Amino acid sequence: MRLITFIFLLIAPSLTWATIYDKNAKLSNLGEINIAIIDSAFGGCWTNISEVRSYAVGKLEVAGATVSDDRSNTAQWIFEKKATFTINVNATRKLGVCIGKVSIYVNAGITAETVGFYGIMRFSTFGKLIGAEENLNVNILDTVGLAIREWEEQR
């Protein structure tokens, strides 16, 4: 089993996916952006959540975004038709090694008021499979940076 985990760790850096769905969209055009954190990491695999949030705020602002201090429910932001930068970490410890996935989305709420429809428009998706012996903290910071860099490259 350790061999399988080791092989996973060797190939994990190459398992990244990224898509920006609207090439004309820019972070500066999305209005105020909320940062949402979804922590589904177990076994001490993610211990620097507030550092990751602060890092994301700084990187987003450098990329031209206006980041909100509002930490209210993401669903409320959807109904208010505002954008959300979501960092979703799913990880667990197996045989002493943390393995998991980081998914980052930029969404905004939309409405079709004539029919009373509410929905979500996804502007981008970025994900990476990650693994490390101690924890995934540095990997998660790096992944957030890479996701925001995707937006910077299209400016």
Residue 46 belongs to what domain range? 2-153
CATH of residue 68's domain is: 3.30.160
> Do strands 83-94 and 97-112 pair parallel, antiparallel, or not at all (unpaired)?
antiparallel
Q: Give pTM, 2 decimals.
A: 0.83
> What SS3 state is found at 32?
strand
Tens-digit pLDDT profile for residues 26-37: 888 888 999 999
Compute the C-alpha angle 99/67/47, nearest 5°.
25
Residue among 150, 149, 151, 141 at smallest CA distance from 50: 141
H or E element in which residue 79 lies: helix 74-79
As a whole number of angstroms, the distance between CA 82 and CA 113 comes to 16
Tens-digit pLDDT profile for residues 69-106: 877 666 676 667 788 999 999 999 998 899 999 999 99
Number of domains within the chain: 1
Neighbour-count burial for 59-80, b at 16+ CB within 10 Å, e otherwise: bbeebebebbeeeeebeebbee
The one-letter code for the residue type at 20 is I
H or E element in which residue 110 lies: strand 97-112
Q: What is the pLDDT of residue 18?
A: 66
> What SS3 state is found at 62?
helix
